[in-house]
Amino acid sequence: MILFKGGLVFDGMGRRLEGQGVLVEGERIAKLAPLGEFDGFAGETVDTGGGTLLPGLIDCHVHLVYSGHADARAAMAKQSPSDIALIALENAQKSLAGGITAVRDCGGKDYLEFGVRDAINRGTFPGPTIHASGRMICMTGGHGNAIGRIADGAEEVVKAVREQVHAGCDLVKIMATGGVMTPGVNPEDAHYSAEEMKAGVSEARRFHKRTASHAQGTEGILNAVRAGIHSIEHGIFMTEKCIEEMKEAGVYLVATISALKNIVKNADKGVPAHAVEKSLRVGEHHLASIRMFHAAGGKFAMGTDAGTPFNLHGQNAQELSYLTEYGLSPSEAMVAATANGADLMGLEDIGRIESGRMADLLLVEGDPTKDIRMAADKANHRAVYKGGAIFADPRPAPAGVRQAAE
Tens of pLDDT along 153-163? 999 999 999 99
pLDDT given at position 392? 76
CB neighbours of residue 307 within 10 Å: 26
The residues of the chain that CATH labels 3.20.20.140 are 57-345
pLDDT given at position 55? 98
Specify the amino acid at residue 346. Answer: G
The residues of the chain that CATH labels 2.30.40.10 are 2-55+351-390
Q: How far is CA 134 from the centre of its chain?
A: 15
pLDDT given at position 300? 98
pLDDT given at position 209? 98
Question: Is 2-55+351-390 CATH 2.30.40.10?
Answer: yes
pLDDT given at position 405? 29
User: How far is residue 98's CA from residue 96's CA, in Å, rounded to a whole number?
Assistant: 5
Q: Where are the alpha helices (DSSP H) in 207-315?
A: 218-227, 240-249, 257-265, 273-295
User: How far is residue 288's CA from residue 72's CA, in Å, rounded to a whole number?
Assistant: 28
> Residue 265, exposed/middle/buried by CB under 10 A (0-12, 13-18, 19+)?
middle
User: How far is residue 341's CA from residue 171's CA, in Å, rounded to a whole number?
Assistant: 14
pLDDT given at position 394? 61
Show the low-confidence residues of the chain (pLDDT under 70): 393-406
pLDDT given at position 73? 87
DSSP 8-state secondary structure symbol assigned to residue 37: G
Please, what CATH class does the domain formed by 57-345 belong to? alpha beta
pTM, two decimals, is 0.95
Widest distance between CA atoms in the chain: 67
User: How far is residue 357's CA from residue 337's CA, in Å, rounded to a whole number?
Assistant: 16
pLDDT given at position 141? 97
Q: Are 148 and 135 in contact (CB under 8 A)?
A: yes
Q: What are phi and psi of 119, to 5 degrees?
A: -65, -40
pLDDT given at position 301? 98
CB neighbours of residue 78 within 10 Å: 7
Q: Are 219 and 190 in contact (CB under 8 A)?
A: yes
pLDDT given at position 145? 93
